[in-house]
Each structure stands twice: as structure tokens, then as C-alpha cells.
Structure 1
Amino acid sequence: MKTHDFYYDLPQELIAQTPLDRRDGSRLMALDKTSGRFRHMHFYDLPALLRPGDCLVLNDSRVLPARLLGRREPGGGAAEVLLLVDRGDKVWECLVRPGKKLRPGARISFGDGALTAEVLETLEGGNRLVRFHYDGIFLEILEGLGKMPLPPYIKAELSDPERYQTVYSREVGSAAAPTAGLHFTKELLRQVQDMGVRLAYVTLHVGLGTFRPVKEEEITDHEMHAEYCTISEESARIVNETKAAGGRVICVGTTSCRTIESWAKEDGTLAASAGWTDIYIYPGYRFKVLDGLITNFHLPESTLIMLVSALAGREHVLAAYQEAVRERYRFFSFGDAMFIGDLPEGMELDG
């Protein structure tokens, strides 16, 4: 299967630059994963698509304010460092800019000098190992100096950093938000729980590799980036009980999907797990646990649109995306959402 098989034409003006005032006010396309038929809705209508006994799996990772703007020492030239992976002992794998100026031995100062850094090593692919020097708690320093690492297709400034966090985020470590969860409010979560839907939280720390384009012609030649994820005993138990009782497991976002599918046994059960995953899901994949997916609209030719196509079929997904373009949906991180699964019997459909 070719990478270009997952291309669609997207007008640039449909890429959402800012979040809506109301989190759950975004549009929601409900797509039947078997027939490809759909219904235009709003995210606050989500309870109409759920059933008592279902389970929502949510990624509780919190975005690190990982973008640091500083000055090179000596000389004072501008420098930018983006934290990617904590390697321990105050060393992080980072993206840096300008790369030609930030070679091993280069030093950078941030803010009033409360945080300084030294480039230790250039890694294959161009990332750097950087050691930071500071007194106190690193996360508290980042809260004061760091900025949100918004995706490259978002050019607007974010006035409220919390709008790039889910309302249930708690485990700090992502370089990008698990954006399907941005649509939820605390009130909507309570509403679905009150109707008998259980919530299971997992953690996958999103890396910037999620935005890395697929450059290979054949999709099977693409090498996935690895991300760290965990499943607690409680969440594994909730998912297992849901499946045993005949309920549906509906993942909120591709990150939650990749987490549970990474650690699922062949019989579809989960156990408490932790580790790195580079699972690559594309058409032909057999889902072990997942029954449905809540997700945003993804970039053309990306691994994420391939994952969605594995669930609902490439033809159905691309037809739904073309419909979303016609209807002027908002795309990508701050854009609208999809529900992909079995739609309620008797629901009136738009196409």
C-alpha cells in the first residue's frame, strides 16, 4: 500500500489556528465503521453515541511547557531548545535551533540565568543531548520560562496555555497534546459517567514524532518513533470487565488506542504494563481491544490517518474527510472531531 493512497486535498484555511471558546462546542462527525455512513453532530452530543456499559479510555498525559527561548553564551545570539525525552541526570534529548551554532560544547542561558544548558552530543538525525543546570525543581522552572510546543501548522499565539491541555491531564511528559481529549469538559465526563459509561485512564507521553511525515513510498517501509506509555492495574481491570460484560472499549485519541493495543494479549485482555511502544497500525491490522475511536481529523499521508483507516477502511475514511472538507470542518489539533464505531440503531444519518 502506498503512502499517497492516504492523501486528501485540504484547503489551508480549514486548519484551525485557535481553540473554540467552548471545548465541547466543536463539530463531531459520527462515522459508522462498517458501512461508512455518517451523521453530523456536535461534541456535546457524544452521549447519544455511547451506551451504558461502554468504557472510554483516556490519555492523562500533560504537555510539558517544553519550548525554551534563550541566548547563546558568549555572544548573545538567539537560541531555541525543545525538550523531547528526559534521559536522566538533568540530560534531555532536544531539538535545537540554530543547529549550526549549537554544536557540542555550546552554552545557552534562559531568562535571567536561573536556567543554563550545555550541548553534550549530536545524535543521529540531528537531535542533541543537552545537560541543564539549575537550582530547585525543574518542572517549576519550566512553568516560569517554558512555552507550549504547538504543532508547526499552528501559527497563532495561544492566549491560555491550559487550552492545550485536557481537563483530565495529570502526568507531565508530553511534547504535544493528545488532542482528541481537548473536546471534553468536566461536566461532559460526569454526564457520560452518570449514564453508566466507565472511564479508564492510561498514559502515553506524546513525542514530536507524531508530526513526522511519512517519506517512504511504501507505508510498510516507514519506521515509527517510540513513545513511553503505562497502563495501571485499575485501568486494565476496567477494560477487562467491560469486554467481559459485552461493553465497548472506545479510545479517546490515537495515543490511547496505541497504548492498549501495544500491551493487549491475543485474547484481548490487558494487564498492568509500562514501557516503550513503536506500534504501527495501518490497514490490515486486527484490533485486539478497541471497538471505537474518538479522534480529530489528521494530516494527509500521516500514520494517524492510516491508523483510522485500519479501523473504518481507507475508502470510508477518505470519503468522510472529503465530506468534512465540503462542510468546512476545522482540522487538526484545535479542530473538530470524529466518532468512529457502531452507530445507534435507528439513528438518522446524513450520508
Structure 2
Amino acid sequence: MREKLLILENGDIYQGYGFGADMEMSGEVVFNTGMTGYQEILSDPSYCGQIVTLTYPLIGNYGINRDDFESISPAIHGLIVKEIELEPSHWRSEESLHTLLEAKNIPGLAGIDTRKLTRLIREHGTLKGRICDVDVDVTQVVKDLKMSKWMRNQVELVSTKEPYHVPGKGKRVVLVDFGMKHGILHGLIERQCDVVVVPYKTSAEEIIRLGADGVLLSNGPGNPEDVPEAIEMIKGIIGKIPIFGICLGHQLLALANGATTSRLRFGHRGSNHPVREISTGKIDITAQNHGYTVDLDSLANTELELTHEAVNDGTIEGLKHINYPAFSVQYHPEASPGPHDANYLFDTFMNMIREHKKQPLHV
């Protein structure tokens, strides 16, 4: 296999060998601590623009199958592993990880010390990096990385371009696609919902016209402040239609209600993050993938109430509106991959919709 480099903006260089697409690619280098689920990770639209380091040492051993994708077109910019298995063995496997990345024009890098890279990111924060050939001008690459800007249009790249309907016999849920994982859609379909998936720029007026019984704000990539259209939309529907926000949707709900967000040093990405429910002390083990958080001190002048916190670092993991039917979580109740401890939140949303429908109309 061909030798490749990972060059970081701080000048660090990691040499390994390439797999997947034979091409150069730059992105934000992050890490995920999940032991399994690499297919779901690489197809999660929330990783748009990022080069993901997987901390588990052997990746690719169970191959790729048709059922575990979280999107049709992966938006990940690269994958870094310690060891890649080119000949997978599993009864569901239909192709190797190598051939999938090759077909999707995504470069991979194997054979480097992923533990060292992860410790560097934990110490210094996420860094811009580039997977490239060994004969590049390293000095120029470092200069280019330092001068490059963080991506600001990830949601635009991964959101659906047109609305589409997934018919069901139950409540109508408008699912706003900021980079939606298919697992969220599956969670609604399992509950017989009549789902209309809409682009991220859909206005409050359009959502109300669709006759939504509830609105689900999906996950997605990037900085929530880069999606001002969504913030205005949420302001237009809150109090009128029940709202459930997941990950980026959680952050957008917070911004729409006067809170602020900030960038985490290295984010939460993995399948084993403990979250505590404030009211009961109950712990859920959750799947997470985010680089931003809602600022705790910014809740003081809002009508938002803290409902969940991260056990590891105390950051906000859940919010609810004290006057309107609206709540959100920073983690992924649909998992994919990860534990299903928090899957009940879809039922909480359904109950909220039913209770709201019982309320008398105010003229």
C-alpha cells in the first residue's frame, strides 16, 4: 500500500499508509472513542468537513453492509485508524471499508499511533490537518493549513435540497434536516409518524402550513451560529407546535431562546458518554458527536431549564422550555451506533404532541 502523511497545522507529522481514495484532503481532525460502528460514524452527516480518528485499534474487520448507513453520501473528509482490515469476515458484509471509501472519494490513513494523536487533540484541541502524499512540501502545507478558515457552510452541504414525504398513519412530524441521521427518521417511523423532511432554510410559515403536529430539529455539523435561518424559524413556531431538538437542533433551540453556545476544546464523540438526568439522578449511557455546547451561565436570562448534564465534564446535555412544549438533548437518543438507553425520548416527544393537541385553542 502507498505511503501517506497526516500533516497538522501545528507542524506535527504522522506517516502511515493510505487506503480508500488515493487523494489529498484537508479537514478538522477529531477523534471518536466508539469500539464499533465505523460504518455509521463515517456516514453521519455531522462529520462533514472532518477527518475522524478512531481510537479502537482494529477497524474494518466486519466490513460494510447495505443497512447501517446513516446517509447515502458520506460527508466525512477522511478516516484515520491504527490498523485496517482489507478482507472482512462477517455474514452481513457486502464489501470492505477500503472499497467503500475508494468509491466515495474519501481518503483513509492507517498505521499511525492513534493513541498519540488522540492525546495531542485532547491536550491542544482539534486541529486542522491534511492527508497527503509523502513528497509534498511540508512547510507549505502547514502554512496553508494555518491560513485556511474553518468551514461555515456544512449544513447547507448536507441538508436535503427539497422536502419529501415519508407517509405514516400517526401524528405529522416535520423533521428539519440540518444533517439528519437516518436513525432519527427510523425512530419516528417506528412510532407510525407521518413525516415530512424539509430543508434547513424552511420558514416557520411553511412549517405551520404543512400542518405539523410536532417539529423535530435534527443533528447536523458545524457551528450553530452559522444557521441563522433556523434560529428565526424556531422563534416563529415555539409555543405553537411542540419541538424536540437533537444535537445541533438542541443548540439551535437554545440560541432561539436567548442562550449562547461556545466551541469545546475537543468535543464529545463516542458511544459511551454518561449523562445524568437532573430531576431523578438517573444515568443514561449515550452516543454523542458534537464540537459545541450551550453555555450554562447563559440560561439565567432565558425561559430554559437544565434537565441533563454530562457526568464527565458537567456540560449541558438537555434543556426544556418552562412555558412551552419544547425540549432538547445534546446526545443522540437514536444512537446508531451506540446504546439505546435514551430511545424513550421519542416517546416523550409523542406524548408531548398528544398533550398539546388536547389543549384548548386561544383566540
State TM-score, norm by structure 1: 0.28
